[in-house]
Amino acid sequence: MLRLAFASLALVVHLGAGAAAQTASDQVAFQQWLQQKVWPDARSAGVSKGTFNKLMKGKLMLAPTRPDKQAEFGRPARYFGANTLGYTTREGQKLRKTHADLLKSLERDSGVPGQILLAIWGRESGFGRVKIPQDAFQVLASKAYQDARAEYFRTELIAALKLVQEGRAPKALKSSWAGALGQPQFMPTNVAKYGRDGDGDGRVDIWQSEADTLASIAHYLSEHGWQRGRDWGFEVKVPADVSCTLEGPDQGRRIAQWADMGVTRVNGRAFPKHEAMGQGYLMMPAGRHGPAFLVTPNFYVLKEYNESDLYALFVGHVGDRIRYNMADFKGAWAPTDTLLRADVAAMQRGLERLGHDVGGADGLAGFRTRRSIGRWQEAGGQAATCWPSKAIVKRLR
């Protein structure tokens, strides 16, 4: 035991500050947990002892990564930086030509437009060009040991071990800090479930094969309910008498009804006839301080890939830029107060005390928080902005 403790300590020093936050005894307990708790599950899943030992040997528990309570609350405009938009659009347009036949085939089979597949690929891994340096087994094991969603990550760890055992993933498996793998950044269970062979070589390789990457993304979106023939959404103008509190996937109505309320496309065109009778949902990611959108159910399919309004909006917007050479949003991102996540969380708790559903006091202004702010403002006789400010935080915390 003492020898193991010294060995663990040496490894901690070698791996640097992140791992050094853990004590030698923590690392010993982690090693015991791997053998006593993880190995039996891995064995039951068909992982051999040799594979387990080879892949988990010397793995150190990483220091937990938790959101900094003093981190600045992120403004939506930052997500749409000119450099990121420009690069993803330019490269996406080139790759749309390169993979034209494949994208046409995937759209025919899955219903998902090729530009959407390209936008996700670009956002997730820079079209496979972004280096993904983390040791997947170290990341997943650390999270399975100490994360709030430990059971989820334990399942993902076993799935990653099984992928290597079956020869479906590289032995030197790399991941993001969240444990996502390959060019589409799939979690291990999703590799097994949604990975597809796009180049016809008889195997799924989301690490090296661009065709497999695109086919896998298409299959994922199709299986999560992508509606063939529908768009993801439209940038719109929202009249002052249409409240921003009407935002959200639980307050949908036919797009024709939104139009009857005065909601119009920013380009002045009518909504397509085939969309008019379909459900649409108001989405205002910065409340009254930024562009507004009517989104379709496909927008929420994109959120199944990454649970973020801004992510889904980025993918839809870049897809439009790739295929239609669309320009930036017409609506401007207005300046807003600089706030800390701790301040926003305090405001959210204040709203919760008043009976509002903010979706959790996490310091992030999702649609439930945005419309709760607006409802609180309207109840007090104010014009609803549906966005946090220093004055609102001061009154609600």
Distance of CA 76 to the CA centre of its chain: 14
Burial of 205 (0-12, 13-18, 19+ CB in 10 A): buried
Q: Could you read off the pLDDT of 141-182 as tens digits, one per residue?
A: 999 999 999 999 999 999 999 999 999 999 999 999 999 999
Q: What is the pLDDT of residue 1?
A: 35
Q: Backbone phi, then psi, for 135, in 5-degree steps?
A: -75, 110
Element (H, E) at 215: helix 210-223
CA distance 396 to 352: 10
Name, in order, each residue with C-beta under 8 angstroms of 258's C-beta and a sequence gap of 6 or more. 236, 280, 282, 294
pLDDT over 80 at 70, yes or no: no
Spatial strand order of the sheet with 253-254 comes to 253-254, 279-283, 292-295, 233-237, 264-265
Q: What is the pLDDT of residue 173?
A: 97
pLDDT over 70 at 12, yes or no: no
Element (H, E) at 220: helix 210-223
CB distance 271 to 256 below 8 Å: yes
Q: What is the pLDDT of residue 209?
A: 98
Q: Backbone phi, then psi, for 358, in 5-degree steps?
A: -100, 0
pLDDT over 90 at 245, yes or no: yes
Burial of 116 (0-12, 13-18, 19+ CB in 10 A): buried
Question: What's the pLDDT band for 8 if we cut at 50, 70, 90?
Answer: very low
The helix/strand/coil state of 7 is: helix
pLDDT over 90 at 15, yes or no: no
Question: What's the pLDDT band for 22 if we cut at 50, 70, 90?
Answer: low
**In 166-296, alpha helices (H):** 188-194, 210-223, 255-260, 273-276
Element (H, E) at 237: strand 233-237
Q: What is the pLDDT of residue 13?
A: 33
Q: What is the pLDDT of residue 184?
A: 98
How far CA 318 is from CA of 44, 267, 339, 397, in Å, comes to 43, 17, 28, 37
Q: What is the pLDDT of residue 10?
A: 33
Q: Could you read off the pLDDT of 369-389 as tens digits, one per residue?
A: 999 999 999 999 999 999 999
Mean pLDDT of 321-338: 95
Domain boundaries, the chain: 2-63+138-173, 82-131+192-223, 233-324, 341-396
Q: What is the pLDDT of residue 112?
A: 98
Q: What is the pLDDT of residue 197?
A: 98
Q: Backbone phi, then psi, for 73, in 5-degree steps?
A: -65, 130
pLDDT over 90 at 72, yes or no: no
Question: What's the pLDDT band for 75 if we cut at 50, 70, 90?
Answer: confident
pLDDT over 70 at 91, yes or no: yes
Of 6-15, 21-30, 323-332, the least confident: 6-15
CA distance 61 to 397: 37
Higher pLDDT, 2 or 133: 133
pLDDT over 50 at 6, yes or no: no
Q: Could you read off the pLDDT of 284-314 as tens digits, one per residue?
A: 999 999 999 999 999 999 999 999 999 999 9
Residue 314 CB neighbours (<10 A): 22
The sign of the torsion formed by the CA atoms of 299, 303, 308, 312 equals negative
CB distance 173 to 189 below 8 Å: no
DSSP letter for each residue of 274-289? HHHTSEEEEE-TTGGG
* Angle, helices 367-379/341-353, rounded to nearest 10 degrees: 60
CA distance 394 to 33: 46
Mean pLDDT of 80-88: 96
pLDDT over 90 at 71, yes or no: no
pLDDT over 60 at 207, yes or no: yes
Q: What is the pLDDT of residue 23?
A: 84
